[in-house]
Amino acid sequence: NLLLTQPHSVSESPGKTVTISCTASSGSIGDNFVQWYQQRPGSAPTTVIYEDDHRPSGVPDRFSGSIDRSSNSASLTISGLKTEDEADYYCQSYDADYVVFGGGTKLTVL
């Protein structure tokens, strides 16, 4: 079964760039699309990236997604960090017909 592994936490300063990884095991990251969700404290998740590298309308272009088949991982990159980006981020993909979430990464902007 597909397992998606994320770092538990990352931190970076405002204005800098951070990359959050999502590494697949027991499956290929390229087999199905990857989505990324942002969850601020006390709120429901919202989509920041869908289908590997697409941004929903309203999501700043500071957010970008990519796939690296050589490392079997997906990445979410946030540039020009703002304090409002501090949140939990989850990757999500599929294993056959089943939905799989990564364990989540807490981003601290300090």
Partner 1 sequence: QVQVQESGPGLVKPSETLSLTCNVSGGSMSSSAYYWGWIRQPPGKGLEWIGNIYHRGTTQYNSSLKSRVTTSVDTSKNQFSLRLTSVTAADTAMYYCVCGVGTTFEYWGQGTLVTVSS
Residues that bind partner 1 (CB under 8 A): 1, 32-33, 35, 37, 39, 44-47, 50-51, 88, 90, 92, 94, 97-104
Q: Which helix (H) or strand (E) holds 77?
A: strand 73-78
Please report how close the Cβ of residue 30 comes to partner 1 at its closest, in angstroms.
14
Q: Closest Cα partner for 12 from 88, 90, 82, 103?
A: 82
Nearest C-alpha neighbor of 61 from the set 77, 47, 45: 77
**Minimum distance, C-beta of residue 13 to partner 1, in the bound complex (Å):** 26
Cβ distance to partner 1 smaller for residue 16 or 54: 54
CB of 31 to partner 1, least distance (A): 12
Nearer CB in complex with partner 1: 30/103 = 103
Q: Specify the pairing of strand 9-12 against strand 105-109.
A: parallel
